[in-house]
Amino acid sequence: MTSAGAAATVMPSTSVSAAATAIHARFRVAWPGFALDADVQLPGRGVSALFGQSGSGKTTLLRCLAGLERAPGGYLSVRGEVWQDDARGVFLPTHQRPLGYVFQEASLFAHLSVRRNLEFGMKRVAAAARRVSLEHAIALLGIEPLLERMPEKLSGGERQRVAIARALATSPRLLLMDEPLAALDARRKAEILPYLERLHDELDIPLVYVSHAPEEVARLADHLVLLDGGRVLAAGPIHEVMPRLDLPLAHGEDAFVVIDARVAAHDEAYALTRLEFGGLPLWITGLDTRIGAQVRARVLARDVSLALSERHESSILNVLPARVVSLDEADAGRTLVRLELGGSAMLARITRRSAVQLGIAPGMEVFAQVKGVALLR
């Protein structure tokens, strides 16, 4: 246990070896009508999303990580500490695991005020192990005005913010969230997402986030574990997993890639902002970002078309040189093209006819016309 309170919150995780920071989970459960067979390594920092349809086993996997579900023969180590190793008879019950868990629906204790809910977990953690102060958790989630209220007097979004703060106040070494936004409407979701991003940016606590919503994953995740029917279909950094043509993600209507970029300049006259990634410019509308800030942008596959020359009379702002990496023609009438540009992958979904007429083939140099870029954070 570290003794200094404030110093530990900014623990430099780069100096720790990769093996010690990683989360390694191996669980196999077989229930009537459902089976989970997962062996995953997650990074010891940042946000890992467990992504999949309902019934894919993502919540079960999360519950196994928490010890709420007991998978016989399972194994789990978190940043060098073994929490479960049934082969050696090790199983830490949930209440002995230094984790925070946010459930899908509001799970505040109805008999306790917001403040006492927050204190519930914190006061059960030894003083020496407290690295996140109650004040910090309250400030991070912006719940100062709610402290004296009872849970029944809060909106769904407020309850979820309190639940997140309550989990944080236990100074967890691992934060687990089971679709914390799923029960909320779009406005409440939008209200909470910025707070989740702040956790990501300000705390050195790995977050495992279960979701079936691509837009949440796009905004939050650094690492993606794609689950299907209780099995791990793919796992890796989001930049690598999203553009993979062999996965169902790339074939969805809303297939996208995320691009991490830097805010380079503002064009006040046209109210445009120039982002830069891998030496390439990417223009977006609006001026509300700080120059130099790191941002994440999402580009949908259906918003990218291809041209053979740059000089193409068009209203499209972003025309970028790209190289064709691979093609996929699995979907009728459509060709999915994986591009590489500025060191990033991008997907373009074009019609089969266009692909044939332009003679698109791997290795070819083309220009990607990007019709829309959404700034995620």
Partner 1 sequence: MSAADFAAIRLTLELAAVTTAILLVVGTPLAWWLARTHSRLKGVIGAVVALPLVLPPTVIGFYLLVALGPHGPVGQLTQALGLGVLPFTFAGLVVGSVVYSLPFVVQPLQQAFEAIGERPLEVAATLRAGALDTFFSVVVPLARPGFVTAAVLGFAHTVGEFGVVLMIGGNIPDKTRVVSVQIYDHVEAFEYAEAHWLSAGMLVFSFLVLFALYSRKRGVTR
Supply the minimum distance, in Å, between the C-beta of residue 143 and partner 1: 17
The per-residue b/e assignment along 304-319, b for 16 or more CB within 10 angstroms, e otherwise, is bbbeeeeeeeeebbbb
Choice between 103 and 195, CB closer to partner 1 = 103
Interface segment toward partner 1; rule CB under 8 A; list 13-21, 53-61, 71-79, 89-97:
89-97
Q: Does 107 bind partner 1 (CB under 8 A)?
A: yes
Site for partner 1 in 30-69 (CB under 8 A): 66-68
Site for partner 1 in 121-180 (CB under 8 A): 121, 124-125, 166-167, 170
> Can you give the chain as a three-state secondary structure string?
CCCCHHHHHCCCHHHCCHHHHCEEEEEEEEECCEEEEEEEEECCCCEEEEECCCCCCHHHHHHHHHCCCCCCCCEEEECCEEEEEHHHCEECCHHHCCEEEECCCCCCCCCCCHHHHHHHHHCCCCHHHCCCCHHHHHHHHCCHHHCCCCHHHCCHHHHHHHHHHHHHCCCCCEEEEECCCCCCCHHHHHHHHHHHHHHHHHCCCCEEEEECCHHHHHHHCCEEEEEECCEEEEEEEHHHHCCCCCCHHHHCCCCEEEEEEEEEEEECCCCEEEEEECCEEEEEECCCCCCCCEEEEEEEHHHEEEECCCCCCCCCCEEEEEEEEEEECCCCCEEEEEEEECCEEEEEEEEHHHHHHHCCCCCCEEEEEECCCEECC
Supply the minimum distance, in Å, between the C-beta of residue 50 and partner 1: 17
Interface segment toward partner 1; rule CB under 8 A; list 104-112, 150-158, 292-300, 363-371:
104-112
| Spatial CB neighbours of 6, under 8 Å, sequence gap ≥ 6 | none
Supply the minimum distance, in Å, between the C-beta of residue 101 and partner 1: 4
Supply the minimum distance, in Å, between the C-beta of residue 358 and partner 1: 54
Q: Does 100 bind partner 1 (CB under 8 A)?
A: yes
Q: Does 209 bind partner 1 (CB under 8 A)?
A: no
Supply the minimum distance, in Å, between the C-beta of residue 324 and partner 1: 48
Interface segment toward partner 1; rule CB under 8 A; list 3-11, 100-108, 135-143, 340-348:
100-108
Choice between 65 and 217, CB closer to partner 1 = 65
Interface segment toward partner 1; rule CB under 8 A; list 7-15, 16-24, 117-125, 255-263:
117-125
Query: How many residues bind to partner 1 according to rule CB under 8 A?
Result: 22
Give how far Cα 305 sits from Cα of 75, 223, 337, 376, Å: 46, 27, 10, 21
Choice between 57 and 100, CB closer to partner 1 = 100
Of 72, 73, 80, 93, the residue at the interface with partner 1 (CB under 8 A) is 93
The token pair at 201 is 């940016």
Site for partner 1 in 290-319 (CB under 8 A): none
Q: Other CB atoms closer than 10 Å to residue 242's CB: what's the count?
A: 27
Site for partner 1 in 308-367 (CB under 8 A): none
Supply the minimum distance, in Å, between the C-beta of residue 167 and partner 1: 7
Site for partner 1 in 251-290 (CB under 8 A): none
Q: Does 120 bind partner 1 (CB under 8 A)?
A: yes
Supply the minimum distance, in Å, between the C-beta of residue 84 and partner 1: 15
Interface segment toward partner 1; rule CB under 8 A; list 4-12, 96-104, 229-237, 244-252:
96-104
Choice between 103 and 277, CB closer to partner 1 = 103
Q: Does 207 bind partner 1 (CB under 8 A)?
A: no
Q: Name the residues that contact partner 1, by CB under 8 A.
A: 66-68, 93-96, 99-101, 103, 107, 109-111, 120-121, 124-125, 166-167, 170
